[in-house]
Structure 1
Amino acid sequence: MKVSKAQAAENRQGILDAAARLYRERGLSGVGVADITRDAGLTHGGLYRHFASKDALVREACAQAFDWSIAPLEGAQDATDLASRVKSYLSSTHRDHPGEGCPAAALAVDAARAGGDLSEVFAQGIERNIDRFARVIEDLAPGEGVPSAPNRARAMEMLATMVGGLVLARATAAGRPALSDEILATLREKLTAPPDDAKG
């Protein structure tokens, strides 16, 4: 039975959505083509009508997953808004649902091991996030100027702290839940505290 262009596009997007979520939940090596197509409600062979290879799917699914981590900062206008987003990122909800969260925290080690094209996908996604954080810190609208070097450095520090903290919180959640919660709470407080020069 012939599939319409609209249905084909919907099927392709369903595969991407399933792959982006499953990769973040289980890691790149923990997910097979059959898992993805089953989750998308399609047959195994259907994947290769939409993607040249599994590697091509991995790259595109990871690129799509970075839309998650960029989107929450859209519209962030001030330090209060940024603080609420930091708190949301370093939350038990985000920790406990990796399939719906940040790809950097879920897949950075996989991307480093894969290298090559996948590393480039991650570099682009992380660069966009650094720029987005720096723009919010500096109160720049999209397309308005370039963030200063100190604010870019602050954005890198925040992103690295958030991602690393979430990774540690996930790694300790089953064995020592109290430690996991403490990591999240400590970093939320640290990253949302006013800068030293703004204190009394």
Structure 2
Amino acid sequence: MKVTKAQAQANRARIVETAATLFRERGYDGVGVADLMAAAGFTHGGFYKHFGSKADLMAEAAACGFSESAAGSEGIDIAAFVKQYLSREHRDTPGTGCTMAALSVDAGRQPEQVKQAFADGIERLLTSMVSKHGASGATNATNATSAAAKREARARSIDAIAQLVGAVVLSRACPDDSPLADEILQACESGALSRLSAPKKKP
């Protein structure tokens, strides 16, 4: 039976979504093409009808993961987001969690298209954070002041992302029942919330 174009697109999307979950859960090297296709409900042979290589799928799955994270955090207060991100629940469920925390270390060892997918995803996240939480008071300022405010907001956003992701990565590297695993999350949550509540410097 011939597969329609719409069905082929739906099948591809299912494979990408399944891969996004499994890669976050097991890492890029922990999931073979055969296992991945089986989990998505397809045969191994059908893989190359959709993708040129596993690396191509890895890049698409990374983009999918970033999109899922963006959708999941839409409309959430920044303090609530920090608490959720640094929660034990997020730490213990990488398959449904943040792509950066689950796969950034793996991505650094992968082909260029995978690294580019991460760079693109991080860039979109930074743009969103600066738009929502930074440089908001610069609209009536001079262009130079506005540009400086945006650079500062971007730097703050990079710092925040690095701390949140790093905290989850370090916590996951510890044994599940290790007191240190929780201590890392709690210390970074306190630090992040403290900076959020600190009064902003006047220009």
For normalisation by structure 2, the TM-score amounts to: 0.85
Quote the RMSD (CA, aligned, Å): 2.0
Partners of 1:149 and 1:112 in 2: CA distance? 26
Unaligned runs of 5+ in 2: 137-145
1:172 pairs, out of 167, 171, 174, with 174
Do the aligned partners of residues 86 and 139 (structure 1) sit closer, same or farther apart at CA in structure 2, a change above 3 Å counting? farther
Cα-to-partner distance string for 1:13-68 (whole Å, 9 max, x where unaligned): 11001111111111111110111111101111111111122221111111111113
Matched residue, 1:134: 130
Report the secondary structure of 2:176's partner residue: coil
Q: Which residue pairs with 2:117 in the alignment?
A: 121
**Equivalent runs, 1:22-171 vs 2, <5 Å:** 22-76=22-76, 81-138=77-134, 148-171=150-173
Which is worse superposed, 4-13 or 92-101?
4-13
Q: 2:73 & 2:156 partners in 1: Cα distance? A: 16
User: How many aligned positions are there?
Assistant: 189
Distance in 2 separating the partners of 1:162 and 1:68: 18
Q: Distance in 1 between matches of 2:47 and 2:21?
A: 16
Contact 2:86 2:189 in 1 (8 A): yes
Identity %: 45
Aligned-pair distance for 1:131?
Answer: 1.8
Q: Which segments of structure 1 move beyond 3 Å, counting only runs of 4 or more?
A: none
**Aligned-residue offset at 1:156:** 0.6
Q: Distance in 2 between matches of 1:69 and 1:173?
A: 26
- Choose from 187, 195, 198 the match for 2:198: 195
- Closer/same/farther in 2, CA of residues 189 and 168 from structure 1, 3 Å limit: same
Contact 1:73 1:133 in 2 (8 A): no
Amino acid at match of 2:49: R
User: Which structure has the larger Rg over C-alpha atoms?
Assistant: 2
* TM-score (norm. length: structure 1): 0.87
Gaps of 5+ in 1: none
Distance 2:111 2:4 in 1: 37
**CA separation in 2, counterparts of 1:135 and 1:86?**
18
1:18 aligned onto 2:18: yes
Residue deviations 1:102-126 (CA, integer Å, cap 9, x gap): 1111111111112422111111111
